[in-house]
Structure 1
Amino acid sequence: MKIITFNVNGIRSALNKGLEEWLKVQNPDIFCIQEIKLSETELVEPIFLALGYHCLWYPAVKKGYAGVAILSKIKPETVQYGIGVEQYDSEGRTILADFGAFRVLSAYFPSGTTGDVRQEVKMSFLDDIYTFLNEEKLKDKPLFVCGDVNICHTEIDIHNPKANAKTSGFLPEERAWVSKFVDSGYIDCFRQINTEPHQYSWWSYRAGARGKNLGWRIDYIFGSENTKPLLKNAQIHADVFMSDHCPVSIEVDI
């Protein structure tokens, strides 16, 4: 089974850049999307229904902002929209789908790059999502946490760790959160397969950063500890140019 996560930076924009054709080739069983930036999801849903997907949409209340989705070839048994905190749920931050043998969360963590107020929201979200995901882990059913976390974990996950040491997305307290989360019983699926540096999933649009591979690895698929023996492969698709992010995929034996 293949699971892909992708911050598309606007679902209509990505479709205009070839997303439908790319999905036909990749044919993921589960496709988690972040930053759909679309409230009227009925405008694009027929495209994905034609590809055989069940569509779960969770747009933000604010138009043209944030929002997540899960597209799946398997019909989910139950779906939970949000984590029960209005501040985040109004921004369409998480969908949790139960597929019977396993569960998948599509998540778009807040960014703190626009100032202190949003950084405070980000840190509060980290506390609340940590509690939520550890409660979910206790259910013993394999859980995959997919999405844009907006944090680079270690120095090999960012092109210039020294210059960015005080930048949101690479702050010590943010990196410590990822360590705490992994230590609580989750695996970073990509790093189980590939431990090489210079593996990035996001690049600034400025100064030709992508062409120079001056990037950040901020998009992840985490798995609860019981997914570790199921993991067969993980990949960052840096050759996909539909967004300032690129897709991340895993293959699992379920």
Structure 2
Amino acid sequence: MKLISWNVNGIRAVLKKDFLDILYTLDADVFCIQETKAQPDQIEVDCKDLYPYQYMNSAQRKGYSGTMIFCKKEPLSIIYGMNQPEHDTEGRVITIEYEDFDLVTVYTPNSGTGLKRLDYRMEWDKAFTEYVTSLEKPVIICGDLNVANEEIDIKNPKTNHKNAGFTDEERNSFKANLLKHYKDSYRTLYPDKVEYSWWSYRFHAREKNAGWRIDYWLVDPRLWDKVEDSKILTDIYGSDHCPIELDLK
């Protein structure tokens, strides 16, 4: 089973590029998207022959946040959000249920310029962890988690130490919450490999490969024997993020 996750930084923008070609070329069983920045009536993704089942969770605020999932096989159930009204206005979470596991795609809130949303981010981390650990089946989580866990996951750790996504608070929260329950599939398989999944649009960061690894496939330990590979598809363009892939037996 092939699973793909990609922060597209605007579904309408990537639809004007090669998104459909990428969608068909990758040919995943499930394709998860974060940061759609669109309402359902603003887009139409013409891929029903490949993905007859499409689910979208949009933010109340137009042009902001949002998630989407394309599936070949119909899920047993779908949950939009976390059943927590204080956290469910920005369209950040979709959960689909299959026979053997629940798959959750998430676009974690960014702490923002000047860390103005750091306190909310800390609340979110606890609330999201509480939600995913409450699900009955083993869980696979994918998406833009907006944190580089270790220094190996970021090009310039010293100069970014107090920036959103690499503060001690965010990294410690990631370890104390999600990583307490789930395996970082890429880093578990490749403890010393240096690859990134996001590059700033500024300063020619992608050309210089001055990036961050902030997109993840997190896997419940009960499913770990099913994991074949976890990849970062750095050769695919169209967003400031690249897609990430999880292969299951």
Q: What is the TM-score of this pair, normalised by structure 1? A: 0.93
Q: 1:86, CA displacement in angstroms?
A: 2.2
Structure 1 position 3 matched with structure 2 position 3: yes
Alignment partners' CA distance in 2, 1:231 and 1:155: 25
Alignment of 1:80-99 (within 5 A): 80-99=79-98
1:180 aligns with 176
1:93-113 deviation digits (Å, cap 9, x = unpaired): 101110122211010000012
**Equivalent residue number for residue 50 of structure 2:** 51
Task: State whether structure 2 residue 131 is matched by structure 1 residue 128.
Answer: no
Q: Aligned pair in 2 of structure 1 residues 58, 183: CA closer, same or farther (>3 Å)?
A: closer
Cα distance between partner residues in 2 of 1:20 and 1:231: 27
Gaps of 5+ in 2: none
> Is the Cα–Cα contact under 8 Å of residues 157 and 197 in structure 1 kept in the other structure?
no
User: Among the aligned pairs, what percent are the same residue?
Assistant: 36
- Counterpart Cα distance in 1 of 2:198 and 2:224: 25
Q: What are the ranges of 5 or more consecutive residues in structure 1 without an aligned counterpart?
A: none
1:149 and 2:162 matched:
no
Superposition pairs of residues 199-218 of structure 1, within 5 angstroms: 199-218=195-214
Which residue is equivalent to 2:247?
251
SS where residue 174 of structure 2 aligns?
Answer: helix
Work out whether 1:76 is the aligned partner of 2:72: no
**Alignment partner of 2:122: what SS?**
helix
Contact 1:182 1:188 in 2 (8 A): no
What secondary structure does 2:148 align onto?
coil
Return closer, same or farther for 1:242/1:100 CA change in 2, 3 Å cut-off. Answer: same
CA distance in 2, matches of 1:12, 1:184: 36
Q: Output the CA distance in 2 between the equivalents of 1:183 and 1:121.
A: 19
Conserved in 2, the CA contact under 8 Å of 1:110 and 1:122? yes
- Whole-Å separation in 1 of the counterparts to 2:16 and 2:221: 38
SS of the residue corresponding to residue 6 of structure 2 reads strand
- Equivalent-residue separation in structure 1 for 2:161 and 2:169 (angstroms): 11
Aligned-pair distance for 1:192? Answer: 2.3
Contact conserved, 1:198 with 1:213, CA < 8 A, in 2? no
Q: Secondary structure at the match of 1:169?
A: coil
